[in-house]
């Protein structure tokens, strides 16, 4: 469509609306208004003339203020002393304090990821190319945080080009779904059939039934397009416009302040959030039917759909994606952790990929397939390993090349005991030439138990260096004990509360192998530390420590908080605090890990603020 024709169309369909030619696309929200979604309904702010990084940051700031983010790293003492909406649960994990009057915790301005955008177009009959999708920045621990999914001018140009390319294929699919067009190929020459086509297009592309006013307005837009450029070109341009709409490019419609969302609109919003959270794809026919019937607004219907979706191939892949990010092993190909070849001659990037495959297959077979509990996931000796990895865990390579298929074996004789002893995790939590007890300790306590540490003093780096290191060969524990004797008292007392978490894992080297000795010295992995439930815990070996960690409900609670952040794109908020507290109390070490993962989207209470 030429600029003159577009301007002519704008004057006839939207009155005073400024409709910038899409070839320039200098205003994202002009496009939003064309598609019946005002800037105010998206952001709650006044219309903006340009969407760039500064605009996105402004939206993020407003979103943060509206949601009143709760930082789960706040200490229990500060929470009690300042009234911060967080508490330390009886099991030690920091959980939000139940807020009887939740603040706005509804849908965010949440753009589709490249994977979700491509899947959404494929569901409409197109074959998109996401290779040129402008890169997104990672915000927070997971890659689907809305704060990182911002809109730049590069996105607008990409969406314009791709929607134009995809439109003909989508039009063909929509014709086949429009009753009057199926009856007669010439039916779309009539205004009545084009109105029906508009309704079908809106429902398919917006992933929800359109309201009568939307159908009327968009049908009028299609008629103006037909007047300007003819039927066939008009259908393509009309669909291209819808594919650039925020209602397609964003997960859900965000209600304006004071707006009441109808049960139907809410049900479809839940369907959209649920499907993209669990499968990275738009709602399928069964999920749409559950929304249409109102089943998604019931606890039983929501649980049924979450269970069904997670068992699909896309659902399994999404769960494994979550778990790899949660376990800190989501490394892109070519960026696998390196090891010092002079120290670890047998280690290689290809072997590390076998380690990641071991974790993926464990999650697929034991967690998804057999329903392993949190306790079992953190204590199982069952492994899914390649021949090369099996030999490597035995202490040799036997000339076997990494790669190939995996087989289930018992790894108890090779030092394996749950997820934290998978080679993939151990290597990720180590340095190039040695283990890193401090890093491992902080990760286990803060990341896997959500048992936060206080912030270090400003001169921490100067204090952690041992002024009088022991002479001769030493183990990591010997060096730590020397540090405790020479460090400032407040530093020593703090490190004593968490470093033993890392020292308990010293039997597993930086190369992922089990070992009894560090150099020429025997490893002593015994220790005492404060546990998440408030009492001190003493353990004789690393296996003893891992057995206790697997039995703590705090481990399940913390996993649930990670799942919440993954599904909702941010840390716990005041709006979800009551639901999180209830789920925390219901989760235990013996809860199936997959149920803990689903808890933040399988409970209707999480959607109550919508």
What are the structure tokens assigned to 596, written together? 């803990």
Cβ neighbours of residue 565 closer than 8 Å, sequence gap 6 or more = 140, 141, 142, 571, 572
b/e map 4-20, b = 16+ CB within 10 Å: ebbeebbeebbeeeebb
Task: Report pLDDT for 95.
Answer: 60
d(CA 69, CA 572): 7
Q: How many CB atoms lie within 10 A of CB 47?
A: 15
Q: Is 66 exposed, middle or buried (0-12, 13-18, 19+ CB in 10 A)?
A: middle
Task: Report pLDDT for 215.
Answer: 95
Q: How many CB atoms lie within 10 A of CB 175?
A: 18
Give the largest Cα separation in the chain, rounded. 92
Crossing angle of helices 153-177 and 191-206, rounded to 10°: 120
Task: Report pLDDT for 20.
Answer: 27
b/e map 390-407, b = 16+ CB within 10 Å: bbbbeeebeeeebeeebe
**Location of structure tokens 């892109």:** 332
- Residue spans of the chain under pLDDT 50: 1-91
Task: Report pLDDT for 123.
Answer: 97
The DSSP line for 311-360 is: HSHHHHHHHHHHHHHHTT--PPTT-PPP--TTT-TT--HHHHHHHHHHHH
d(CA 114, CA 120): 10
For the stretch 341-353, pLDDT in tens is 999 999 999 999 9
Cα–Cα separations (whole angstroms), residue 117 to 33, 121, 130, 489: 21, 6, 8, 54
d(CA 329, CA 378): 16
Predicted TM-score (pTM) of the model is: 0.83
Q: How many CB atoms lie within 10 A of CB 64?
A: 13
The DSSP line for 419-469 is: GGGSHHHHHHTB-SSSB-HHHHHHIIIIIIS--PPPPPPTTHHHHHS-SSP
Task: Report pLDDT for 41.
Answer: 31
d(CA 488, CA 442): 20
- Centroid of chain to Cα 174: 32
CB 570 within 8 A of CB 105: no
Q: Is 271 exposed, middle or buried (0-12, 13-18, 19+ CB in 10 A)?
A: buried
Phi-psi region of 92 (alpha: psi -120 to 50; beta: other; left: phi over 0): left
């Amino acid at each position: 469509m030429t600029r003159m024709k577009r301007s002519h169309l704008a004057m006839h369909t939207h009155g005073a609306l400024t409709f910038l030619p899409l070839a320039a696309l200098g205003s994202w929200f002009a496009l939003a208004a064309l598609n019946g979604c005002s800037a105010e309904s998206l952001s709650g702010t006044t219309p903006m003339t340009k969407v760039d990084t500064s605009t996105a940051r402004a939206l993020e700031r407003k979103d943060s203020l509206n949601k009143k983010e709760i930082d789960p790293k706040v200490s229990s003492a500060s929470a009690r002393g300042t009234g911060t909406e967080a508490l330390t649960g009886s099991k030690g994990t920091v959980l939000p304090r139940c807020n009887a009057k939740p603040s706005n915790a509804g849908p965010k301005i949440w753009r589709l990821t490249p994977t979700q955008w491509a899947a959404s177009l494929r569901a409409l009959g197109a074959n998109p190319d996401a290779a040129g999708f402008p890169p997104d920045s990672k915000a927070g621990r997971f890659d689907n945080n809305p704060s990182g999914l911002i809109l730049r001018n590069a996105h607008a140009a990409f969406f314009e080009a791709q929607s134009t390319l995809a439109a003909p294929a989508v039009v063909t699919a929509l014709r086949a779904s429009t009753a009057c067009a199926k009856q007669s190929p010439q039916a779309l020459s009539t205004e009545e059939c084009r109105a029906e086509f508009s309704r079908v297009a809106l429902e398919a592309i917006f992933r929800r039934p359109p309201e009568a006013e939307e159908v009327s307005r968009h049908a009028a837009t299609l008629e103006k397009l037909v007047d300007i450029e003819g039927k066939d070109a008009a259908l393509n341009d009309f669909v291209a416009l819808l594919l650039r709409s925020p209602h397609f490019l964003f997960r859900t419609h965000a209600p304006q302040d004071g707006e009441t969302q109808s049960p139907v609109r809410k049900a479809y919003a839940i369907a959209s959030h649920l499907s993209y959270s669990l499968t990275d794809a738009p709602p399928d026919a069964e999920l749409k039917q559950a929304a249409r019937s109102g089943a998604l607004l019931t606890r039983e219907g929501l649980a049924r759909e979450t269970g069904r979706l997670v068992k699909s191939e896309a659902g399994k892949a999404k769960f494994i994606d979550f778990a790899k990010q949660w376990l800190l092993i989501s490394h892109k190909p070519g960026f696998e952790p390196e090891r010092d070849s002079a120290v670890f001659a047998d280690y290689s990037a290809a072997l590390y990929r076998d380690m990641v495959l071991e974790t993926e297959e464990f999650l697929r077979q034991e967690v998804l397939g057999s329903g392993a509990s949190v306790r079992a996931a953190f204590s199982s000796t069952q492994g899914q390993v390649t021949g090369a990895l099996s030999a490597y865990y035995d202490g040799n390579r036997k000339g076997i090349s990494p790669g190939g298929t995996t087989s289930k074996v018992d790894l108890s004789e090779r030092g394996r005991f749950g997820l934290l002893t998978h080679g993939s995790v151990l290597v990720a939590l180590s340095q190039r030439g040695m283990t890193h007890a401090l890093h491992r300790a902080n990760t286990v306590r803060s990341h896997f138990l959500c048992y936060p540490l206080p912030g270090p003093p400003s001169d921490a780096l100067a204090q952690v260096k041992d002024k009088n290191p022991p002479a001769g060969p030493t183990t990591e524990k010997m060096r730590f004990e020397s540090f405790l004797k020479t460090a400032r008292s407040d530093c020593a007392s703090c490190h004593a509360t968490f470093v033993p978490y890392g020292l308990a894992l010293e039997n597993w080297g930086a190369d992922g192998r089990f070992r009894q000795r560090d150099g020429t010295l025997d490893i002593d992995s015994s220790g005492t530390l404060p546990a998440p439930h408030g009492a001190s815990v003493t353990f004789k070996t690393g296996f003893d420590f891992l057995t206790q960690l697997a039995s703590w409900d705090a481990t399940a609670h913390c996993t649930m908080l990670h799942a919440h952040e993954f599904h909702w794109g941010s840390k716990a908020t005041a709006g979800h605090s009551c639901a999180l507290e209830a789920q925390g109390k219901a989760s235990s070490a013996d809860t199936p890990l997959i149920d803990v993962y689903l808890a933040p989207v399988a409970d209707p209470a999480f959607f109550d603020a919508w």
